[in-house]
Amino acid sequence: MKTLLLLLLLALPILPATADSCTAADAPGHEPTALPKLPADAAPRHIILMIGDGMGAEHVWAAWMVNRGKLNITQLPVIGFSRTPSASHAITDSAAGATAPACGVKAVNGHIAQDSEGRAAESILLRAQRAGLSTGLIATKDITDATPACFYAHADDRRQKALIAAQLPESGIAFVRGGGSKHFREEQLQEMRRRGMDIELLSDGDMPPAGQRGDVLPKATREALERLSRNPQGFFLMIEGSQIDVAAHRNDLRETVREVLDFDRAVGEVLSWMQQHPDTLLLVTADHQTGGLSILGGSIPEGRVDAHFSTGSHSGVAVPLYAAGAGAARFGGIWDNTELHGLLRKALPMPAAQE
């Protein structure tokens, strides 16, 4: 009996009991798109902001290992960090975490597009639209969820779904893809289409996880680029990889990697589009880190990562930002998350929207 126990103990891996593994078989990878040659100091006409919800540097590198040492995101030439504390907490939630880059103000956790005093703040998307650019919004969760909501709505509480939903038709956003059809009546959807909004809500609530939803995110990205680029004045598009956060809250390593790879495929769609449209600025960042992920081992040639989550909540580390294309040069450095708003605003092609 004792010998059997000893043999069993020896057979255990050296990794801590809590480490988990993800392999290329669990999370099928892809070839990155060749990085187009882009003038980093030119003025952009199109601005694309991509937010990986909860996507810390560790989540990116975990996916990079599983994809055998290559990703679209990690090719982007300009890098920096974004500090994420909110007005109320050292560790932000997604509402304050999106309000900061969207509106340039620190919000109390849970507040949608409001400053710390509860005053409504205008998002970069609505500002771009007011100046004559076309706008788009893509998410893989409910479109009334905190991150996308901060770009078109204001609310004291992120759970006020009906109040948030009611503000979408007024926004006039040209292209919308996400989940959350249950918050809208059929007449409201028809009214939005009558106003010229190209809106498809592809699920009742959140969409299924990456492993089950096919190429919805890369496809919506392609469609948005095709549709929005019809406006010669330019466009502002926000694309969220919403469920990286969901998977990391669950401490589900395989699903986390699948979500990052799905988001990275959407980045690849943007990069291939940018080959024909070098007057485009791409900024990829996150609102906060989720799960306190750390990488403990693995094999890049085999496409495997061994990693450990240290919390079921968000963590307080600064998150990475990656930029490419026209005007990307100014994003290098360590920023407060509110400062990203000012940088994006300076990049807007319309002088009226920059003020």
Enumerate binding residues for Zn ion (CB under 5 A): 245
Cβ closest to Zn ion, residue 142 vs residue 245: 245
Q: What is the nearest approach in angstroms of Zn ion to the Cβ of residue 166?
A: 24
Q: What is the nearest approach in angstroms of Zn ion to the Cβ of residue 249?
A: 6
Q: What is the nearest approach in angstroms of Zn ion to the Cβ of residue 15?
A: 26
Cβ closest to Zn ion, residue 96 vs residue 216: 96
Token pair, residue 115, equals: 């400053």
How large is the greatest C-alpha to C-alpha distance in the chain, in angstroms? Answer: 79
Q: Output helix, strand, coil percentages for the chain, rounded to the nearest 5.
A: 35, 20, 40
Q: What is the nearest approach in angstroms of Zn ion to the Cβ of residue 91?
A: 10
Cβ closest to Zn ion, residue 252 vs residue 269: 252
Token pair, residue 254, equals: 């395989």
Cβ closest to Zn ion, residue 52 vs residue 327: 52
Cβ closest to Zn ion, residue 29 vs residue 56: 56
Nearest to 66, CA basis, from 34, 33, 28, 31: 28
Q: What is the nearest approach in angstroms of Zn ion to the Cβ of residue 220?
A: 22
Enumerate residues 6+ apart whose C-beta is below 8 A from 20.
251, 253, 254, 306, 307, 308, 309
How far is 289 from 281, CA to CA, in rounded Å? 24
When CB distances to Zn ion are compared, the closest residue is 245
How far is 276 from 112, CA to CA, in rounded Å? 36
